[in-house]
């Protein structure tokens, strides 16, 4: 901030830091449904056998039917699967 404070208005350089949060829950709800379902498909989950594919299918269906309380669970499951495939699959 100090290196450019002469170039920017005081309102920008003097304000406190703000956090930045990615809209991941909005993404999985709107743009990434196909990606989520593909990533967490029975065939892909069975490659490692660590997760119960039927239970995950129920969680996904419940989420996409409107139970948004599962949003973090869906995101975490998807990230685990992507990580596992990247490093072990």
Question: pLDDT tens digits for 16-63?
Answer: 888 888 899 999 988 999 999 999 999 999 999 999 999 999 999 999
Q: Report if residue 3 sits inside a domain.
A: no
More confident site: 20 or 64? 64
Q: Report if residue 63 sits inside a domain.
A: yes
CA distance 78 to 11: 40
Domain count of the chain?
Answer: 1
pTM of the predicted model, to two decimals? 0.76
Q: Report if residue 10 sits inside a domain.
A: no
Q: Report if residue 56 sits inside a domain.
A: yes
Q: How does residue 1 score in pLDDT terms, banded at 50, 70 and 90?
A: low
Q: Are 40 and 82 in contact (CB under 8 A)?
A: no
Q: Which structural domain, as residue segments, surrounds residue 30?
A: 22-87
Q: Report if residue 1 sits inside a domain.
A: no
pLDDT of residue 37: 97
Q: How does residue 8 score in pLDDT terms, banded at 50, 70 and 90?
A: confident
Q: Report if residue 51 sits inside a domain.
A: yes
């Amino acid at each position: 901030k100090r290196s450019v404070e002469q170039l920017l208005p005081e309102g920008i350089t003097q304000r406190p830091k703000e956090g930045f949060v990615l809209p991941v829950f909005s993404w999985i709800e709107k743009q990434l449904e196909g990606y989520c379902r593909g990533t967490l498909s029975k065939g892909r989950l069975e490659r490692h056998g660590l997760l119960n594919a039927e239970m995950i299918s129920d969680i996904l269906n419940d989420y996409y039917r409107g139970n948004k309380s599962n949003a973090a669970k869906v995101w975490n499951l998807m990230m685990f699967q992507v990580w596992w495939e990247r490093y072990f699959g």
